[in-house]
Amino acid sequence: MTNPAIKRIVTNVVKSPEDKREYRGLELSNEIRVLLIHDPTTDKSSAALDVHTGSLADPKDIPGLAHFCEHMLFLGTKKYPKENEYNQFLSEHAGSSNAFTSGENTNYYFDVSNEHLEGALNRFAQFFLCPLFDASCKDREVNAVESEHEKNLMNDAWRLFQLEKSTGNPEHRFSSFGTGNKFTLETRPAEMGIDVRQELLKFHSANYSSNLMALCVLGRESLDELTDLVVKLFAEVENKYVPVHEYTDHPFQEEHLKQLYKVVPIKDIRNLYVTFPIPDLQKYYKSNPGHYLGHLIGHEGPGSLLSELKCKGWVNTLVGGQKEGAKGFMFFIINVDLTEEGLVHVEDIILHMFQYIAKLRTEGPQEWVFQECKDLNAMAFRFKDKERPRGYTSKLAGLLHYYPIEEVLAAEYLLEEFRADLIEMVLQKLTPATVRVAVVSKSFDGKTDRSEKWYGTQYKQEAINPDVIQKWLDADLNGKFKLPVKNEFIPTNFEIFHLENDTATFPCLIKDTAMSKVWFKQDDKFFLPKACLNFEFFSPFAYVDPLHCNMAYLYLELLKDSLNEYAYAAELAGLNYDLQNTIYGMYLSVKGYNDKQHIILKKIMEKMVTFEIDDKRFEIIKEAYMRSLNNFRAEQPHQHAMYYLRLLMTEVAWTKEELKEALEDVTLVRLKAFIPQLLSRLHIEALLQGNITKQTSLSMIQMVEDILIEHAHTKPLLPSQLTRYREVQLPDRGWFVYQQRNEVHNNCGIEIYYQTDMQNTHENMLLELFLSNYFRAMLQHAADQRTIRLYCVQWSTTSKWHSRTTFYHPVGKTSQLPGK
């Protein structure tokens, strides 16, 4: 293939052995890096373009300009000047689009029905060739950015991220306010005599260069057809030869280290964040020393840092590992949540962290640990699940900036080089001399003296006492800490079972008794050594009243807590479980590699009927549950809308207030008495599907029944007890409004609910068509008005077949809904 627009063709893209798609890499003459994906079975086509510039490139006087550029870019081009042409085309052809701006990247992506990839890609390409940045749209998009900021304003994650940035070097671009708002994009520029649209044009001209762009396109078309399409549409994007900015200085310098930040959150949360500045490790991706250390420091098995801190009653969870910064710098973090007792032992918790780090230095880098990580990653890459087109192209477009095209699919998985020197280098950076500590708690309310500029987060900054630093420097070895043992859950048998003669298209019922009903479906599509085991345990005692609901919740939380050390190794080996209470009883799922699923299933069931509740863990988890109930008041308005609709339409549902009031009556003695009652009578409904045989499925359900009968003396429910809660039927042509005030967020959430008749295939199809058209009208209306900012739009069709649509708009601004 000879084409002057193509500089290089890459045909040897490393892919998973189980990946049936075909790949081709291109580097165009204008230096756009391209990955093409031919997938003849995809249900939708997709494309994404990532520009290697983001909010870190904002002019100092106009924070949020990169984000604003992302908003403005899609509002008309010279070839397609109609403002909503792109989104209208997508919505008319089963498509959708989105974009995001991060510190170093701006990512644009869409999906569309397979027949219309070329039309969508044509419109998409114009944004990078000839955008209009129509001045008439500026004010509306400023309002959209402001509305987005309002959504995040009372979100603790956004507030803490900005506080971390704001407390570093103020001259470093990392300290910037990336989202922007009306003040930064309109009010202040007007006061300073700055024309924001002109600055936007300058920003786009300076940063949107083809050599900073990476494109990924997925479709049913052949690789040659996709190549021709991309060359035709993107070869003319201008190359301005803009260099990728690299930061030679870390945003955390000497004066920003050995500092303690006491922070007041919005929700009632207690967290400890320990951060170390480290160099950029991205170029070492084949040895990944940060991953090695994160694997050990963040381990949750016996002898781990978390295990000891939980035993002390100070924390419940721990996350450790490297965190991205930008080209030139990174961070290493160790974050834990704190119990009430843990809040007064912060110095001791950090001492334990340095004791564990001292253990790692003493033991030295272990090649067997690296090899285990390497084997786990290689297995995950070999058998990775097929990704959805839109998310896949978006991710790959971003990765093309960081890895060779040949390795872009595999680079995040494959470890090749054990580099003890790099591991030791990073370890040397994790010292008390370079630490930053943030403690987040409501207990600091009224005891702070500073307010973060953009979110108003209240905090107090103190230098860590030199005596405390010295105590951490003198951290000796703690005999409780051990390196992990070799992981026995790593699967060794990847055999794909032959399809049984009577393989059905849909799950079939293979057992139906008083104790259990079992559905089975052997995988005949993906042929991966994985299975999904799903069990619902029906119990009449699980949701009798708020008290029983609380006890069911606490029972399962304590059960999962007691399983954590054991199950963590399975999780690392790609074998996950989920266990939660429901309005009917309990739901258990075990998913992942089928080789050793039966082992963890047996362990879960045995633990379910035999474990003894630890007094201290009961009090800790009960207190955390009470805080979570209280924190619901600070959830987003759209979540409140969904919650209240469920309360209104469900036959039986307990409110957060009812659960809080009843929680006071839950004692350890009462909970211990409740567990055998809960397990005394059950009915099990199960669906087992994947790389599994009918006989194995029956053996598993028999094992589950045997354990329950032997240890809990479980008996089956009576047929009359197997009932489902009903949904409230609305009168024909009825129209009702229910309103509640959200006390925390300055947004509105609206959920519209339409109830239709009992389902049948023809009417379901008509309903889906109606919803698609309704959704398109809503998007168009929102785009036209721009006083509404759509953050979340959903619809669903369930038992009584209804549609659900959720969206925000700022308080004080209203707009008539389409069709009303």
Q: Identify whether the C-beta of residue 420 lies closer than 8 Å to the C-beta of residue 25.
A: no
**pLDDT band with cut points at 50, 70 and 90 for residue 810:** very low
Residue 468 in this model has a pLDDT that exceeds 70? yes
Residue the block writes with tokens 């009462």: 670
Nearest residue to 662 (alpha-carbon basis) of 694, 699, 615, 625: 625
Nearest residue to 490 (alpha-carbon basis) of 643, 390, 379: 379
Residue 479 in this model has a pLDDT that exceeds 70? yes
Mean pLDDT for the stretch of residues 245-269: 97
- Kindly give, in sequence order, each residue whose CB lies less than 8 Å from that of residue 720, ignoring residues fewer than 6 positions away: none
**pLDDT band with cut points at 50, 70 and 90 for residue 694:** very high
Q: How far apart are CA 568 and CA 487, in angstroms?
A: 10
According to the model, what pLDDT value does residue 84 have?
86
According to the model, what pLDDT value does residue 764 have?
79
Cα 520 vs. chain centroid, distance in angstroms? 30
According to the model, what pLDDT value does residue 2 have?
78
Residue the block writes with tokens 């260069």: 209
Beta bridge partners of 338: 315
According to the model, what pLDDT value does residue 814 have?
34
Whole-Å CA distances, 306 to 235, 310, 338, 623: 53, 6, 12, 19
**pLDDT band with cut points at 50, 70 and 90 for residue 523:** very high
Task: Give me the DSSP letters along 364-414.
Answer: ---HHHHHHHHHHHHHHHHTPPPPPHHHHHHHHHHHTTTS-GGGTTTTTT-
Q: How far apart are CA 422 and CA 298, in angstroms?
A: 19
Whole-Å CA distances, 789 to 149, 183, 699, 779: 11, 18, 53, 10
Mean pLDDT for the stretch of residues 553-564: 98
Q: Identify whether the C-beta of residue 371 lies closer than 8 Å to the C-beta of residue 308.
A: no
Mean pLDDT for the stretch of residues 458-484: 97
Residue 362 in this model has a pLDDT that exceeds 70? yes
Which region among 82-96, 295-309, 427-441, 783-797 has the lowest average model confidence (pLDDT)? 783-797
Mean pLDDT for the stretch of residues 25-51: 98
According to the model, what pLDDT value does residue 779 have?
63
Q: How far apart are CA 139 and CA 47, in angstroms?
A: 29
Which of the listed ranges 589-598, 718-727, 734-743 does the model predict with the highest average pLDDT?
Answer: 589-598
Q: Identify whether the C-beta of residue 712 lies closer than 8 Å to the C-beta of residue 535.
A: no
Q: Identify whether the C-beta of residue 104 lies closer than 8 Å to the C-beta of residue 53.
A: yes
Residue the block writes with tokens 């010279």: 78
Helices (H), 43-155: 65-73, 85-92, 117-126, 138-152
Whole-Å CA distances, 257 to 46, 309, 593: 45, 25, 44
**pLDDT band with cut points at 50, 70 and 90 for residue 232:** very high
According to the model, what pLDDT value does residue 655 have?
97
Residue 806 in this model has a pLDDT that exceeds 60? no
Nearest residue to 645 (alpha-carbon basis) of 581, 744, 739: 739
Mean pLDDT for the stretch of residues 522-546: 96
CA distance between the termini of the chain: 56
Residue 313 in this model has a pLDDT that exceeds 90? yes
**pLDDT band with cut points at 50, 70 and 90 for residue 782:** low
Residue 785 in this model has a pLDDT that exceeds 80? no
Instruction: Give 637-689 pLDDT, tens digit per residue.
Output: 989 999 999 999 999 999 999 999 999 999 999 999 999 999 999 999 999 99
Q: Identify whether the C-beta of residue 370 lies closer than 8 Å to the C-beta of residue 292.
A: yes
Residue 807 in this model has a pLDDT that exceeds 70? no
Taken in order 300, 303, 309, 313, the sign of the CA dihedral is positive
Q: Identify whether the C-beta of residue 50 lies closer than 8 Å to the C-beta of residue 214.
A: yes
Mean pLDDT for the stretch of residues 492-505: 90
**pLDDT band with cut points at 50, 70 and 90 for residue 251:** very high
Nearest residue to 208 (alpha-carbon basis) of 219, 200, 196: 200
> Which amino acid makes up residue 230?
V
According to the model, what pLDDT value does residue 776 have?
66
Q: Nearest-5° angle of CA 481, CA 485, CA 487?
A: 140
Token digits for 766? 């008509």
Helix (H) or strand (E) holding 98: strand 96-101
Which region among 135-149, 172-186, 336-350, 397-411 has the lowest average model confidence (pLDDT)? 135-149
> Which amino acid makes up residue 388?
R
**pLDDT band with cut points at 50, 70 and 90 for residue 1:** low
φ/ψ of 362, rounded to 5, equals: -65, -45
Whole-Å CA distances, 565 to 14, 435, 533, 614, 616: 35, 28, 21, 15, 17
Average pLDDT, the chain: 93
Mean pLDDT for the stretch of residues 434-444: 98
The three-state (H, E, C) secondary structure of 112-136, written as one string: ECHHHHHHHHHHHHHCCCCECCCHH
According to the model, what pLDDT value does residue 752 have?
83
Mean pLDDT for the stretch of residues 313-321: 97
Mean pLDDT for the stretch of residues 785-812: 45
Residue the block writes with tokens 């500073």: 450
Q: Identify whether the C-beta of residue 233 lies closer than 8 Å to the C-beta of residue 122.
A: yes
What's the Rg (C-alpha) of the chain?
28
According to the model, what pLDDT value does residue 803 have?
41
According to the model, what pLDDT value does residue 750 have?
86
**pLDDT band with cut points at 50, 70 and 90 for residue 753:** confident
Q: How far apart are CA 806 and CA 642, in angstroms?
A: 8
Taken in order 562, 566, 567, 571, the sign of the CA dihedral is positive
- Kindly give, in sequence order, each residue whose CB lies less than 8 Å from that of residue 211, ignoring residues fewer than 6 positions away: 30, 31, 32, 239, 240, 241, 242
DSSP conformational letter for 620: H
Taken in order 745, 631, 589, 674, the sign of the CA dihedral is negative
Residues with a catalytic annotation lie at 70
According to the model, what pLDDT value does residue 805 have?
39
- Kindly give, in sequence order, each residue whose CB lies less than 8 Å from that of residue 75, ignoring residues fewer than 6 positions away: 83, 131, 132, 133, 134, 137, 141
Q: How far apart are CA 794 and CA 803, in angstroms?
A: 8
Mean pLDDT for the stretch of residues 760-767: 81
Mean pLDDT for the stretch of residues 153-165: 97
According to the model, what pLDDT value does residue 762 have?
84
